[in-house]
Every structure is written in structure tokens, then in C-alpha cells.
Chains A and B, each alone.
Chain A
Amino acid sequence: RKEVEQDPGPFNVPEGATVAFNCTYSNSASQSFFWYRQDCRKEPKLLMSVYSSGNEDGRFTAQLNRASQYISLLIRDSKLSDSATYLCVVNNFFGNEKLTFGTGTRLTIIP
């Protein structure tokens, strides 16, 4: 079983719609969680950290469910510029910067 699993998609969503991604992780001791965004042939860029209490950044909302070991990302009012691959990322050891990446979920926003 992969440490971090995501539905690879692709998700093809009309502009303005709401889209949600889920991610599961296998290590119950995982400490930190993130969503990164990766555009085609580019490096990943941090979208947002994910906290147990849930957090929101503009149109993006992230949730963490430690009991079920899953993380979600919700994008509201999707824009064409949201088209990218979204990577679920986990840090298993507090203070250790090693990150484990999911394979990513590919999102395409359709005009």
C-alpha cells in the first residue's frame, strides 16, 4: 500500500463549479499535512498546510480527519487558472523535513 494515495483523476470540471479531492495516508503517526500544486513540467508549489481544525484560504478549504487518516481539498468557484495537478503531501516525523508525496490528482477546468 502506498503511503499517500490519491485518485489520479483526471477531473474535468466546468469553470465556476466546486470540486473536492481526497487523499488517504497510511502512517497514523504522520504529523504534518499539505496540499501542493504542480503545473505541467514545473516544480511543486505549496498551496496550503492542512490543520486538524480545518483551514480556509480564499476559495480553498482543507480538512484533516486523523481518525480516518484522510485529507481533503475543496475548491470553490473554480477558475481556469486552477487547472493543475494537486499533490497531497505528508510529513511523518515532527521536526524532520522529509516529505512523502501522493501521485497527484489532475484537475482541468473547462471554460
Chain B
Amino acid sequence: GAVVSQHPSRVICKSGTSVKIECRSLDFQATTMFWYRQFPKQSLMLMATSNEGSKATYEQGVEKDKFLINHASLTLSTLTVTSAHPEDSSFYICSVPYRANEQFFGPGTRLTVL
């Protein structure tokens, strides 16, 4: 089956710094990847759709200037949390559509902003 990796798995940073998270599709090329965020005891919330060769599509309420997405290649999408603040502390997960109605998720990145 498809494998999706994320890096880093965990990051702790000071308030005001920017954090870059990478999502890689290891087995196949993906023109689309998804970025989710999950707060404790809450559901995964779709933040944005990363599109190779074009701008990302953001969900309502997600600030595109704060969460920068770059789909650099058919196997790599990056999410940069700019000027992170404690309220941005969360579990960030990417997913890659594999075939009809099936997605594989990366292992997630746990961000803690002090």
C-alpha cells in the first residue's frame, strides 16, 4: 500500500517563529494532498487542499497567509506555520488520495508553541 511520511514528527518552538512541515508520498505521485489539523479530543479538520502546479485551496476560516502551502513536486507538499503562537499548537496531518475514495494519512506532526 501507499506510504506517506511527514517530517518532523514533533516540534517545539517559541512563539513568533515559523515552522515548516513536510509531507511526502513515497510510493506514487500525487497532484493533490490534504492538510488537516486536530486539536485534543476533537475531530480532524481539513485546513487546505494542496495542488501541484497551482495555489492551494483553503477551507473557510483558515488564514492562507498564516498557513503557507507549497506543493513543490508530485511527491512533496509543505505546510509552513508562520509566526506560530500557542493557539497553533496542534496535531497536523497530511493525507494523499490513493484511489477512489481512499486516502492514506501521514503519521502526523505534533506542534507545540511555547
Q: Is the CB of A97 within 8 A of B105?
A: no
Interface residues of A (CB under 8 A from B): 4, 8, 32, 34, 41-46, 49, 87, 91, 97-104
The reply to whether A45 and B42 contact each other, CB–CB distance below 8 Å, is: no
- B residues at A contact (CB < 8 Å): 32, 34, 41-46, 49, 91, 93, 95, 97, 101-103, 105-108, 110
Q: A97-B32, A102-B43 are in contact. Are A43 and B101 (CB under 8 A)?
A: no
A44 close to B44 (CB less than 8 A): yes
Q: List, in ascending order, chain B residues with CB within 8 A of A4's CB.
A: 43
- Measured between beta carbons, the chain A residues less than 8 angstroms from B32 are 97
Q: Which residue of A lies closest to B59 (CB)?
A: A98
Contact A43 to B107, CB < 8 A, known contacts A97-B32, A104-B43: yes
Instruction: State how many angstroms separate the Cβ of B72 from the closest Cβ of chain A.
Output: 20
Docked complex Cα distance between A43 and B91 (Å): 9
- Contact between A91 and B44, CB atoms less than 8 A apart: no
Report yes or no: B105 in contact with A98, Cβ–Cβ below 8 A: no
A103 to chain B, nearest CB (A): 4
Q: Is the CB of B97 within 8 A of A97?
A: yes
Q: B108 — which chain A residues lie within 8 A by C-beta?
A: 41-43
CA distance A41 to B42 in the complex (A): 12
A49 — nearest CB in chain B belongs to which residue?
B101
B43 touches A87 (CB 8 A): yes
Q: Give Cα A28 to B28, complex, Å.
A: 34
A45 touching B105 by the CB < 8 A rule? yes
Give chain A nearest CB distance to B67 CB in angstroms: 17
Nearest 8 CB-CB pairings of A with B? A43-B105, A97-B97, A101-B43, A103-B43, A101-B44, A32-B101, A43-B108, A43-B107
